[in-house]
Chain A
Amino acid sequence: MQGFSTTYLVEFGHLAVFTAFLVSVIQALAPWLAGRFNAPALARSGISAAFIVLILMTIGGSILIYAFVTSDFSVLYVSQHSNTQLPLLYKVTALWGGHEGSLYLWAWVLAAFTAVLAVQGKRLFPLRLPVMLSVQAWLLLGFLGLILFLSNPFERLLPAIAEGRDLNPLLQDPGMAFHPPMLYFGYVGFSIPFAFAITAMLTRWETTLWIGLIRRWSLFAWTMLTIGIMLGGWWAYYELGWGGYWAWDPVENASFMPWLLGTALIHSITVQENRHMLQTWNMFLAITTFALSLLGTFLVRSGVLSSVHAFAVDPGRGLYILIFMVIVLVVAFGLFLAKGRVDSQRETVGSLMSREMLFVLNNVLFTVLCVCVMLGTLYPLALEAINGAKITVGAPYFNSVLVPLFFLVVMLMGFGPATPWRKANLKRLAMRLLPAALIGLVAMIGMLVWDPTAHWFAFVGTGLVAFSLMTIVIDSVRNALRRAQQNNESLPVAFARMLSRNRRYYGGMIVHLGILVIAIGLIGSGLFRSEQVVLMAKGDVLEIGGEKLRFEGTREFRKDNYLALQGRLRLLGTDTILTPERRKYPVQEAPTTESSIDENWARDVYVIIGEKFKDKYSVHAYVNPLVKWIWTGGLIIVIGIGWSLSQRLRQRRTRSSTAAISGTGEAV
């Protein structure tokens, strides 16, 4: 049983969060109070408030984690999502294993980002900072209100029970442990561009002066969202045992929509940094991307849509988040409609064949993609509202609508590096693209010859991916060669220096490379997978997708907090033994399947073991080509972003340029 001290500790944590709520009120009102009483010192109090809120939220969060680690089941939330047998890592990550804790994490991350913003703002835009912190504080208040009044993770269960209900076994997995926080870093990260946009409209702050600052935040948020989505897919792939990684489930779409619009935002920021255009559009994107993050949170946490992500649902909480979201949307878009035109466009797209035009097309495409995902996600709800029919919109809609659009995106990616700003010389452009286009054509024909029966996605996709990949490679090699010639360097040195001097650009190219590698994986695994379900006795051999599997029996054992039945299948011709498991978690009485995967660059052999029938077991086997490329592509993206963001470190070190800082600093 827990001692007195822990009991008070939990109450102390609760009190800390309540105090954080009150301090946030000060932070939210600071700039208005300062204006009203003509006391600038009051505005500065908002900055201190941001730090105090973070400290208080950290106290609350740490105490919750402590309660999980020490299995303090007098805390209702802990008793529902943890268990003494749970491994330590999952005790910690169980914090976000349920509704209350997830929201707490959201608010905690928001407080943390706000504090970072305060540090950055004190140096770069001290006059605007209080307003911006106020925007963040209003958002935080929305979430803290929900946490304190409707979904309180500090709620007690007295007398305490002896043993907790355990964490959902599906969540007891490293991929799942870090999937939600990454998504939240992404969602919450987009609150910063949002706060910039709102502040700009309130204080008539010229976009040009801050657009460079939100670039890094947006890239960070986008990367976190990317990692979160990839982790979710990875987890679904090896843990859920259906051989896939993406199902166009409403909850998946909820994270995909801000990702799509965030992608548009990152690109349109780049345009504005290079040319004086798209200011209003950027403002719109910054607001809408965050609005979609809120929508994502709402869709996940309210349970309005039928989803495999069956979270416990409470309509009261759903209503709260909806009202909160409506307030944010109305205020943000109201401001945008009234004052969105902070400064006007000084340039326009001069030529249809220019890099800015490609960027504009990129933005159009990503916006359309986002709208299509939203339509597919909300259509069942709309139909039900109109005539009561219950339907789900599945993969066929999304694939047939979105994949062709993604092909266009891939094509743009190929044109990008070869097309200069302002105006391209059509003839020169054609010459530059010709080699890559030829290789693309060869790849397409190769695909046709290899498998003429495949879906048209396969030919077109392969051709376009090869084309874009080649334009990036050819363009980089060309630039390196030119540099080698000019500076009299050897080619590898020139190549390395080229990558290092223009990290922003080449970081971006590396990200594109990662996307293309993912595309290869998607084409391979999406269109060419084989699947079989068979009953196997000991010694039986299963042939699938060119691989042979021999069933060598099963064994049963007990480990940590579960019982397992493990099958053994030998991949003939190799030493590999696949060991799929079915686990039973006694406390939750829930079974899970653990797939066993043998992966290499060509294919994954993916096996799960099912029910026993007499002396045979049902074995579900897949051969999924090129899946490894998807995860590798994700890794390449992260490397690319890191490279791109390291530009400023380099500049600081070499003191050669202060453009990134002073050029975008405050000039009031």
Chain B
Amino acid sequence: MTRSIWWIIIPVLLVLIGLLGYGLTSNPKHIPSPLIGKPFPVLQGVDLNGQPVSLGNINGKPTVVNVWASWCVACRQEHEVLLRGARRYADQVSLVAVNYKDELADARRWLRRLGDPYLWSLHDLSGRIGIELGVYGVPETFFVNSDGIIVEKISAPLSDAQFAAGVALISKQ
């Protein structure tokens, strides 16, 4: 065996270790949405009470759009965070929702039982709105600034810290 093998094994090991170390610091679940930096699409529908509502044209106030469903286990865990967040940042942001592929009765019962943090929830039974937004799993949350631009999207149950960070992102100007 010649010394040249050193020049193969050592760099390979170093690169491997470096990569894996880097991997530990990054979150594979965090997938940047192609929608980031784009205006929030104008989407219309009805809310859970049958009132017409429109996404994407939300009074020039920074908005948090949460996608949820009553059949989604992780949403239950996230719900507490949203209730707290909506109360704490009520004067800075509006919290609205897309109720995704849910039976009306189930969705209403859920909000009655757990509390309703949303201004309104757009009822998306068919999942059409979800497709427009590129939703691939609930819960998902979009942070939209006052210009209607999507600044951040999180495809996982939010933590309090994430909610606060998201609000900071869209309310600073």
Interface pair A381/B29, CB less than 8 Å apart: no
Q: A residues within 8 A CB of B28?
A: 303-307
**A419 nearest CB across to chain B (Å):** 28
Q: Is A589 interfacial (CB 8 A cutoff)?
A: yes
CA distance A315 to B22 in the complex (A): 11
**B170 nearest CB across to chain A (Å):** 22
Interface residues of B in 1-35 (CB under 8 A from A): 1, 5-6, 9-10, 13, 16-26, 28-32
Interface pair A304/B20, CB less than 8 Å apart: yes
Q: Is B73 interfacial (CB 8 A cutoff)?
A: yes
Q: A residues within 8 A CB of B25?
A: 315
Q: Which of B6, B22, B24 has the most CB of A within 10 A?
A: B24
Q: Which of B9, B29, B73 contacts A589 (CB 8 A)?
A: B73
Q: A residues within 8 A CB of B32?
A: 390
CA distance A212 to B50 in the complex (A): 77
Q: Which of B18, B20, B73 has the most CB of A within 10 A?
A: B20
Given contacts A326-B17, A385-B19, contact A302 B24 (CB under 8 A): yes
Q: B residues within 8 A CB of A304?
A: 20, 23-24, 26, 28
Q: Is A280 interfacial (CB 8 A cutoff)?
A: yes
Interface pair B19/A378, CB less than 8 Å apart: yes
Given contacts A306-B28, A340-B1, contact A381 B17 (CB under 8 A): no
Per-position binary interface string of chain A over residues 315-326, scored 1 when its CB falls under 8 Å from any chain B CB and 0 otherwise: 100110010011
**B22 nearest CB across to chain A (Å):** 5
Q: B residues within 8 A CB of A325?
A: 20
CA distance A315 to B24 in the complex (A): 6
Q: A residues within 8 A CB of B13?
A: 329-330, 333
Interface residues of A in 311-345 (CB under 8 A from B): 315, 318-319, 322, 325-326, 329-330, 333, 336-337, 340-341
Per-position binary interface string of chain A over residues 429-440, scored 1 when its CB falls under 8 Å from any chain B CB and 0 otherwise: 000000000000
Given contacts A306-B29, A390-B32, contact A333 B9 (CB under 8 A): yes
CA distance A330 to B5 in the complex (A): 15
Number of cross-chain contacts by CB at 8 Å: 57
CA distance A384 to B26 in the complex (A): 9
Per-position binary interface string of chain B over residues 100-116, scored 1 when its CB falls under 8 Å from any chain A CB and 0 otherwise: 00000000000000000
> Count the A residues whose beta carbon is within 8 Å of the partner chain — how many?
29
Interface pair A381/B19, CB less than 8 Å apart: yes
> Taking CB as reference atom, which chain B residue is nearest A341?
B1
> Taking CB as reference atom, which chain A residue is nearest B18?
A385
Q: B residues within 8 A CB of A333?
A: 9-10, 13
> Taking CB as reference atom, which chain A residue is nearest B28?
A306
Interface pair B17/A298, CB less than 8 Å apart: no
> Taking CB as reference atom, which chain A residue is nearest B30?
A390
CA distance A70 to B56 in the complex (A): 55
CA distance A333 to B16 in the complex (A): 14
CA distance A340 to B22 in the complex (A): 30
CA distance A119 to B47 in the complex (A): 72
**B16 nearest CB across to chain A (Å):** 8
CA distance A320 to B89 in the complex (A): 38
Q: Is A352 interfacial (CB 8 A cutoff)?
A: no
CA distance A421 to B5 in the complex (A): 29
Given contacts A333-B13, A337-B9, contact A322 B20 (CB under 8 A): yes
**B146 nearest CB across to chain A (Å):** 27
Interface pair A381/B23, CB less than 8 Å apart: yes
CA distance A381 to B17 in the complex (A): 12
Q: B residues within 8 A CB of A378?
A: 16, 19
Interface pair B22/A385, CB less than 8 Å apart: yes
CA distance A381 to B24 in the complex (A): 10
CA distance A303 to B20 in the complex (A): 10
CA distance A337 to B8 in the complex (A): 11
CA distance A307 to B31 in the complex (A): 13
CA distance A333 to B12 in the complex (A): 11
CA distance A390 to B21 in the complex (A): 17
Interface pair B5/A322, CB less than 8 Å apart: no
Q: B residues within 8 A CB of A340?
A: 1
Q: Which of A298, A336, A341 contacts B20 (CB 8 A)?
A: A298
CA distance A307 to B6 in the complex (A): 33
Q: A residues within 8 A CB of B18?
A: 385
Given contacts A381-B19, A385-B19, contact A280 B24 (CB under 8 A): no
Q: A residues within 8 A CB of B26?
A: 304, 381, 384-385
Interface pair B1/A280, CB less than 8 Å apart: yes
Per-position binary interface string of chain A over residues 256-287, scored 1 when its CB falls under 8 Å from any chain B CB and 0 otherwise: 00000000000000000000000010000000
Q: A residues within 8 A CB of B22?
A: 381, 384-385
CA distance A302 to B73 in the complex (A): 24
Interface pair B6/A302, CB less than 8 Å apart: no
Q: Is A33 interfacial (CB 8 A cutoff)?
A: no
Interface pair A322/B24, CB less than 8 Å apart: yes
Q: Is A382 interfacial (CB 8 A cutoff)?
A: yes
CA distance A7 to B133 in the complex (A): 52
CA distance A329 to B24 in the complex (A): 18
Q: Is A534 interfacial (CB 8 A cutoff)?
A: no
> Taking CB as reference atom, which chain B residue is nearest A302?
B24
Interface pair A319/B73, CB less than 8 Å apart: no
Q: A residues within 8 A CB of B21?
A: 322
Interface residues of A in 101-149 (CB under 8 A from B): none
> Taking CB as reference atom, which chain B residue is nearest A588?
B73
Q: B residues within 8 A CB of A385?
A: 18-19, 22, 26
> Taking CB as reference atom, which chain B residue is nearest A316?
B24
> Taking CB as reference atom, which chain B residue is nearest A345?
B1
CA distance A319 to B20 in the complex (A): 9
CA distance A589 to B75 in the complex (A): 12
CA distance A340 to B6 in the complex (A): 12
Q: Is A590 interfacial (CB 8 A cutoff)?
A: yes
Per-position binary interface string of chain A over residues 374-385, scored 1 when its CB falls under 8 Å from any chain B CB and 0 otherwise: 000010011011
> Taking CB as reference atom, which chain A residue is nearest B25?
A315
CA distance A16 to B151 in the complex (A): 53
> Taking CB as reference atom, which chain B residue is nearest A281?
B1
Q: B residues within 8 A CB of A381?
A: 19-20, 22-23, 26
> Taking CB as reference atom, which chain B residue is nearest A337?
B6
Given contacts A318-B24, A381-B23, contact A590 B73 (CB under 8 A): yes
**A and B contact pairs by CB, cutoff 8 A, 9 listed:** A280-B1, A302-B20, A304-B24, A315-B25, A318-B24, A319-B24, A333-B13, A340-B1, A381-B26
Partner-B contacts on A (CB < 8 A): 280, 298, 302-307, 315, 318-319, 322, 325-326, 329-330, 333, 336-337, 340-341, 378, 381-382, 384-385, 390, 589-590
Partner-A contacts on B (CB < 8 A): 1, 5-6, 9-10, 13, 16-26, 28-32, 73
Q: A306-B28, A381-B23, A385-B26 are in contact. List 18 more A-B contacts (CB 8 A).
A: A280-B1, A298-B20, A302-B24, A303-B28, A304-B20, A304-B26, A318-B24, A325-B20, A329-B13, A330-B13, A333-B10, A333-B13, A337-B9, A340-B1, A381-B19, A381-B20, A382-B19, A384-B26
Top 8 nearest A-B pairs (CB, nearest first) are A304-B23, A306-B28, A385-B22, A589-B73, A318-B24, A381-B23, A381-B19, A341-B1
